[in-house]
Amino acid sequence: MRKGNFIPHVITAAIFIALEVAALAMLNNNGTLQRMWFSEAAQSFMGSVWGSTQKVKDYFHLSSANDSLALENHALRVRVAQLEEALAESAVQMPVFSKGRTGHYSYIPANIMKISNNTQHNYMIIGKGAADGVTEGSGVITGKGAVGIIDAVSEHFSYARSFKNHEMNISARLGRGGAVGPLSWNGRSSSGAILKEIPHHVEFHPGDTVYTSGYSSIFPADIPLGTAGKARIVNGATYEIDVTLFEDFASLRHVTIVENLGRDEMKRLEGEK
């Protein structure tokens, strides 16, 4: 090969080698970027999966957490009743005009197994029965109101008429020291009720709390039920007052069955008069 023909081949080979080296360098750099991108994507994916898994675990733990809170609420309710009874007993030596009747009640925590909310005669099936000490005529309450009355009892279950039932009303008081009248569901809204037979001369304000009166043989006094709203005069003599209930019947699950231990004695006394 002549010298003149050799030089171009050397130059071509040098250019080829230089291009190969540059290509390899670029590929190496690109591989590093790709590894970095893949690593970041993998970390993001694993973080998302872990977060979703943790949320699922937390969701399934809510049931046990709610059960625990319900039991704590029941224990607190029983403790409050015991303290009120102790205070009433400690007032024995006080003048008669300062006494107040508190009654004696038993409390049983329970869960709702089935509930009806979409008819005019709604009911609840509760997972406690005669074997647990439940009796007919007992009240069903929560921390947000009186929600039903036990109508029938089997060994392990109870049938309760819901407050959202046209055949049920509760003796309620407007404020802690106000007038008393029957409170019933308005038949429309899940949280709506009507307080009736309140004398028109009684002063009240929208937003006042409505409580159980304690005048029935079923529910203890002073259970908060809801807040007063608009009022209407009926027959020129009494108010009908709209009440917004505290309890959300759509999410109702945990309840307490309350029994007035003196109920039968009270009924016998009433029957004698």
pTM above 0.85, yes or no: no
Bridge partners of residue 158, in order along the sequence? 126, 153
SS3 content of the chain, % helix, strand, coil (to 5): 40, 30, 30
Mean pLDDT check: name the lowest of 65-79, 86-100, 103-117.
86-100
- How far apart CA 105 and CA 134 sit, in angstroms, is 12
Q: Based on the fold, state whether residues 59 and 116 are members of the same structural domain.
A: no
DSSP secondary structure string for all residues of 105-161: EEEEEEEEEEE--SSSEEEEEES--GGGT--TT-EEEETTEEEEEEEEE-SS-EEEE
* Among 75, 102, 129, residue at a domain's last position: 102
Q: Which domain covers residue 9, as residue numbers? A: 1-102
Q: How many CA atoms lie less than 13 Å away from 261 in the CB half-sphere?
A: 10
Work out the average pLDDT over 248-260: 91
Q: How confident is the model at residue 99 (pLDDT cuts 50, 70, 90)?
A: very low
Read off the pLDDT of each residue in 35-57 and give the average, rounded to a whole number.
56
Judgement on whether residues 118 and 68 belong to the same structural domain of the protein: no
CB distance 210 to 195 below 8 Å: yes
* 219 lies in the same domain as 256: yes
Least confident of 15-29, 160-174, 221-235, 253-267: 15-29
Same domain? 94 vs 133: no
Q: Which of 102, 126, 160 is the last residue of a domain?
A: 102
Q: Which position has the higher pLDDT, 115 or 18? A: 115
For residues 194-210, give the mean pLDDT: 91
Task: Select the more confidently predicted residue: 65 or 93.
Answer: 65
Domain boundary (52, 74, 102) is at 102
Range among 27-31, 100-104, 243-247 rated most confident: 243-247
What pLDDT, on a 0 to 100 scale, did the predictor assign at position 158?
97
The CATH number covering residue 140 comes to 2.40.10.340
Together in a domain, 233 and 261: yes
How long is the chain? 273
Q: Do 111 and 83 fall into the same domain?
A: no
Of residues 85 and 8, more confidently modeled = 8
Residue among 125, 100, 88, 67 at smallest CA distance from 257: 125
Q: Is the pLDDT of residue 51 over 80?
A: no
Q: pLDDT band at residue 91, thresholds of 50, 70 and 90? A: very low
The token pair at 55 is 């949320």
Q: Which residues contact 140 (CB under 8 A, 6 or more apart)?
A: 124, 126, 146, 147, 148, 149, 150, 160, 255, 256, 257, 258
Q: Do 3 and 66 lie in a common domain?
A: yes
Q: Does one domain contain both 127 and 241?
A: yes
Question: Do residues 86 and 144 both lie within one domain?
Answer: no
Q: In terms of domains, do 158 and 58 share one? A: no
Calpha distance 160→146 (Å, rounded)? 12
Give pLDDT, residue 182.
96
Mean of per-residue pLDDT scores for the chain: 78
pLDDT confidence bin for 47, thresholds 50/70/90: low
Of all residues in the chain, the percent with pLDDT exceeding 70 is 63
Residue 11 pLDDT exceeds 80: no
74 and 209 in a common domain: no
**Could you tell me if 151 and 159 are in contact, meaning their C-beta atoms sit under 8 angstroms apart?**
yes
Is the pLDDT higher at 29 or at 176?
Answer: 176
Whole-angstrom distance, CA of residue 46 vs CA of residue 145: 46
Q: Which amino acid is at 65?
A: A
Domain check: are 20 and 96 in the same one? yes
Domain total in the chain = 2
Residue 261 near residue 105 (C-beta atoms within 8 A): yes
